[in-house]
Chain A
Amino acid sequence: MNSLGELSAAHRRRRARSILALQAVLLLILALVSLWRMLSGDVDISPSRIVSLLSPFLPLGSETPLDAIVVRSVRLPRLLSALGAGASLGVAGVVLQGLLQNPMAEPYTLGIASGAAFGGALVISSSVMAVVPAAFIGALFAMAAVYMLAERAGGGRVQVILAGVIVSAFLSSGVTFLKAVADERIGAIVLWLMGGFSGSSPLSAAAVWLAAAVSFCVSWLYGRHLDAVSLGEDVGASLGVDERKLRLLLLSAVSMSSAVTVSFFGIIGFVGLVVPHIMRMLTGSTHRPLLSCSLLGGAVLMAAADGSAQMCNELPVGVITAMIGAPFFCWLLARRRMSNL
């Protein structure tokens, strides 16, 4: 027993160390990506000047210099927005995949994106300009519809996925309809749907980080309950976890955070799908470490993708996430399969 205890303690220490190491590596990459993002742009600003401009106590005199505006109002909000959006989508992907036990689950396959798209497209085509709130309401409306539809159909996990697919399809056709009748506004709709971080503001950065923080904290608290329900509905329940309550709580949390992301930055797929899978291969399925690693991984991937998008003449960032994400993911899948043989 004693030696088994020691073995087990050693095993747990090793596990904790390897997760810490992974987090340290992710933080390091995050720092490098952030440095790159703060340095890159049309205006040349030296690293030391950037550091001094980031300090809120720097006296600037009566007229704000151009480089201060660039750093404080353009680059920093854009970087923080991309990091926050990636973090939020990474966490949402972990929660949805764990909760529904479906590797395909992510915010966008569950109708959130098409809800936001429909809400946004609706106000653009009717020329009211409150696009962000409209998209937000659209996303929440879509999630509520998915949830209620799934409950009416029996409330199982598969029903949630199916309801998501159905609501998505319905709202996507709604977006197509709006485009078809939009006349000259179709350009504005298409541009908005492509999404991206070039329009980031301090407000968008703060909103997306607040949303990411709330959804991360709630999910982390219920991390062990997520572990339990992922063993099957009966096991979760017999371990004292009320799956319906858990689902309502966590779906609300991640829908809210994803809705904030989508309404500010448009439809950026793949991060919420791929990041949890990559992190699961590295850390295993236990949800608490998986959540923190996916938060970091999502942030890194999104900021790097946004940087590449900017370099490619402001391509939509969703194009980049899919272009980097898909091949990398394939490579990982193939590699894992080989090592299993």
Chain B
Amino acid sequence: MTGPASRKIERAPTIIIRNLSVSYGGDTVLRDISSGGDDFSPGRLIILIGPNGSGKSTLLRTLCGLLRYEGSVTLGGRELRTYRRKELGQIVGMLPQHTAADISYSVHDLIGLGRIPHGGLLSSRSEADEEVILEAAGAMGVERLLFRQASKLSGGEMRRVLMAMLLAQDPAVFLLDEPSSASDIKHAALMFSMMKDLSSAGKLVISAVHDINLAARFADVLVVIKEGRIMDIVQGRDLDEEILGRLYDVPFELFTSSGGERAWHARRV
């Protein structure tokens, strides 16, 4: 495999969650979540599924160190809240669901922002940074957009540019919130194979995904979240109508292609 993911070979740290609760705005969004020893360990693509508002984004933002929490989250054996912001920027990177809409940087500059955690205050971009930027742009197929204004990109293009920024940041832990939202089918496939590559290169990749069929197809580990709790942690191939039915409170129907590919659709109630 080529691309930025191949640069670092050392394994990413494991995340272990014990009795995690997160509340904001007076609401408890995550309730007493715990993970097994190697549920959130590198090398396997971990995908979070669950209805809107179930707490997927909150979990990702917590793991990125953005939210106060009760309980314990350890990253490489060290409690998350003891990390300094800059340290965390070198280890953990996040693709948030929402970003500022009107960004008038060039795409090139935008991807270059990914290098901030790796430089001091005085430094500007180095030649090595420049190489990383071009490589990241290539990996996400946005080379042709490099010299465009970011404010003129479509939603899907913007997601890929932000993903390229994340690749330039080169963290050990990737937290992706709906990375393929607003993408067309071709680019959604690119995004998923990128996640797969990153995780098999030893990164810890955790991604919230809306589309259960893509999730089931690509995930090594599926973390099923409902109403702020982890309902199930299963292997991707073990997803079935029973779990989906419990998760979304609608009956699901399984379709199987002649090649053995499976897809679920919610049945009309």
Spell out A's residues near B (CB within 8 Å).
1, 4-5, 7-9, 11-12, 15, 101, 221-222, 224-225, 227-228, 230-232, 234-235, 237-242, 245, 280, 284-286, 288
Contacts and interface: CB of A to CB of B under 8 A. Distances in A.
A96 B66 CA distance: 23
B241 interface: no
B134 A1 contact: yes
A214 to B, nearest CB: 16
Given A224-B116, A284-B104, A240 B61 contact: no
A234 B65 CA distance: 10
Interface string B221-239: 0000000000000000000
Given A221-B121, A240-B86, A4 B143 contact: yes
A336 to B, nearest CB: 11
B253 interface: no
B113 A231 contact: yes
Given A11-B106, A12-B108, A240-B86, 7 more contacts: A4-B134, A5-B134, A7-B146, A8-B134, A224-B113, A234-B96, A238-B89
Contacts of A280: 104
A285 B149 CA distance: 10
A327 B108 CA distance: 34
A235 to B, nearest CB: 6
B85 interface: yes
27 contacts: A8-B147, A11-B106, A11-B146, A12-B108, A15-B106, A221-B121, A224-B116, A224-B124, A225-B116, A227-B116, A232-B99, A235-B99, A235-B162, A238-B93, A238-B96, A238-B169, A239-B93, A239-B114, A239-B169, A240-B86, A240-B89, A241-B85, A241-B89, A241-B116, A242-B86, A245-B85, A284-B109
Contacts of B96: 232, 234-235, 238
Interface of B: 61, 64-66, 85-90, 92-94, 96, 98-100, 103-106, 108-110, 113-114, 116-117, 119, 121-122, 124, 130-131, 133-135, 137-138, 143, 146-147, 149, 162, 169, 175
A237 to B, nearest CB: 5
A77 B219 CA distance: 69
Nearest to B131: A5
B172 to A, nearest CB: 13
A240 B99 contact: no
A286 B150 CA distance: 12
B99 A231 contact: yes
A232 B98 contact: yes
A323 B92 CA distance: 50
Nearest to A240: B89
A284 B100 contact: no
Contact of B116 (A1, A221, A228): A228
Contact of A239 (B98, B116, B147, B149): B116
A238 B98 contact: no
A237 B117 CA distance: 10
A234 B146 contact: no
A97 to B, nearest CB: 12
Given A234-B96, A240-B86, A1 B138 contact: yes
Contacts of B117: 239-240
Contacts of A4: 134, 137-138, 143, 146
B100 A232 contact: yes
Contacts of B135: 1
